[in-house]
Amino acid sequence: MKSGKAVGPDDIPVEVWKCLGEAAVEFLTSFFNSVLESERMPEEWRRSVLVPIFKNKGDVQSCSNYRGIKLMSHTMKLWERVVEARLRKYRDGQKELHCVFVDLEKAYDRVPREELWYCMRKSGVAEKYVRVVQEMYERSRTVVRCAVGQTEKFKVEVGLHQGSALSPFLFAIVMDQLSEEVRQESPWTMMFADDLVICSESREQVEENLERWRFALERRGMKVSRIQSNGECGKEVKKQVQAGWNGWRKVSGVLCDRKISARIKGKVYRTVVRPAMLYGLETVSLRKRQESELEVAELKMLRFSLGVTRLDRIRNEYIRGTAHVGRLGDKVREARLRWFGHVQRWESEYIGRRMLDMELPGRRQRGRPKRRYMDGINEDMKLVGASVEDAEDRDRWREMIRCGDPEGKSRKKKKKKSQSYGI
């Protein structure tokens, strides 16, 4: 067990046993043997502290976006390692492949205790060790620690202990027994922790086996996670805008320096800020409103950099020409078409090409159709006068989709204009 881990309610870290050396080994061996013989563990081990940890995704006020980690006695975790080592002794081409990746919702928290005992016995675990594990879960109580203090103690009567050294192995026993009832010779099933991959040589078969797995899981109190999405990318666009502002702040000392020319500022902006805003957008089909959000943010940055405001009534085209920065929407289109050209030149069996050409079964919803990625690509190709066949020639495709930044006004005229508006 590693050092530096958070201690449980008994406040005894594992470093204590490490410092005692051989004396600790002798004492713990005798102590663990007595626990094994009596099948009773100390009452202090039944207490734990639950600490909610944010998953760094979603709303911070939603409880489902937190993972509860139990702080348990380090001595008990050493005992769990011993039990796990004992339990492990009792457990002994060229075709299409369809895979479904399944994630279980609150996997550890939903495992029924009775189901766990049943799976352990069916796996051939000795009854003595079943009772030892049962003793770990009997009359267990925990408190929740948060910023305002601790709650009252309460019972935990379902699920495995989060943060326990033994829980991953116990969960594997449950999933192994469950898969024995569902799994067939073909297709294959691969499991890692609470993630499941169902594979088959046909789409119909993999869908049938997915339904069989779902029924078996729900019959045992577990549930397949269903991530709902409406296909919107508004949050991603806002993240890209925020990333652009973060990059702008890092070089604001240069961009807001009046002694530096607008040409140099534009070059710094194109090198540092714009790539942060464009990152990943070549795979997104943007709406006009979302594209407008990006351009509004870009113009704010350029106006700040050039020291002008909207009250100066300077047109956006002149701002872009002065800084030699083209429209962000044009750059998004160029990046999207450049990526599409790369995919089209790949082999037909390459995963990216197959995903682009894939057609999902079923009917689209009623009403106005959702904007798809290929809808945006077709509009982009129509705008530049290109076709899918043109993408096979890399040099020709690059020339057709290229959208350069404006050169701006002549030096003399630009200098005069700069003196008039303080640029």
Q: Are 337 and 380 in contact (CB under 8 A)?
A: yes
Residues 291 and 338 in one domain: yes
Alpha-carbon distance values, 150 to 49, 63, 77, 364 (Å): 9, 17, 23, 50
In a domain, 299, yes or no: yes
Last residue of a domain, one of 219, 242, 261: 219
Alpha-carbon distance values, 12 to 2, 45, 140 (Å): 14, 12, 19
In a domain, 227, yes or no: no
In a domain, 8, yes or no: no
CA atoms within 13 Å, Cβ hemisphere of 58: 13
Residues 210 and 280 in one domain: no
Tokens of 61: 């006020």
Residues 190 and 318 in one domain: no
pLDDT in tens, the chain (423 residues): 778 888 888 888 888 888 888 888 888 888 888 888 887 888 878 788 888 888 877 777 777 778 778 788 888 888 888 877 776 655 444 455 677 777 777 767 778 888 888 888 888 888 888 888 888 888 877 888 777 778 888 887 777 877 777 888 888 888 777 777 666 544 366 666 667 777 776 777 778 878 888 887 777 777 776 654 444 556 778 888 888 899 889 888 888 888 999 899 989 999 999 998 888 888 887 888 888 888 899 999 999 888 888 888 888 888 888 888 888 888 888 999 999 999 888 887 787 787 777 766 666 667 777 777 888 888 889 888 888 888 888 999 998 888 877 765 544 444 444 443 444
Residues 203 and 243 in one domain: no
Residues 251 and 331 in one domain: yes
Tokens of 258: 């009046």
Residues 205 and 254 in one domain: no
In a domain, 114, yes or no: yes
Residues 255 and 301 in one domain: yes
Residues 212 and 83 in one domain: yes
Q: Are 280 and 340 in contact (CB under 8 A)?
A: no
In a domain, 224, yes or no: no
Domain containing residue 254: 234-357+372-421
- pTM, full prediction: 0.48
In a domain, 4, yes or no: no
Residues 262 and 135 in one domain: no
Number of compact structural domains in the chain: 2
Alpha-helical regions (H) of 280-327: 288-306, 316-323
Residues 297 and 321 in one domain: yes
In a domain, 352, yes or no: yes
Q: Which amino acid is at 145?
A: R
Last residue of a domain, one of 185, 219, 253: 219
Last residue of a domain, one of 219, 242, 262: 219
Taking Cα atoms as reference points, which of 167, 189, 65 lies closest to residue 111?
A: 167
Residues 171 and 213 in one domain: yes
In a domain, 5, yes or no: no
Residues 160 and 290 in one domain: no
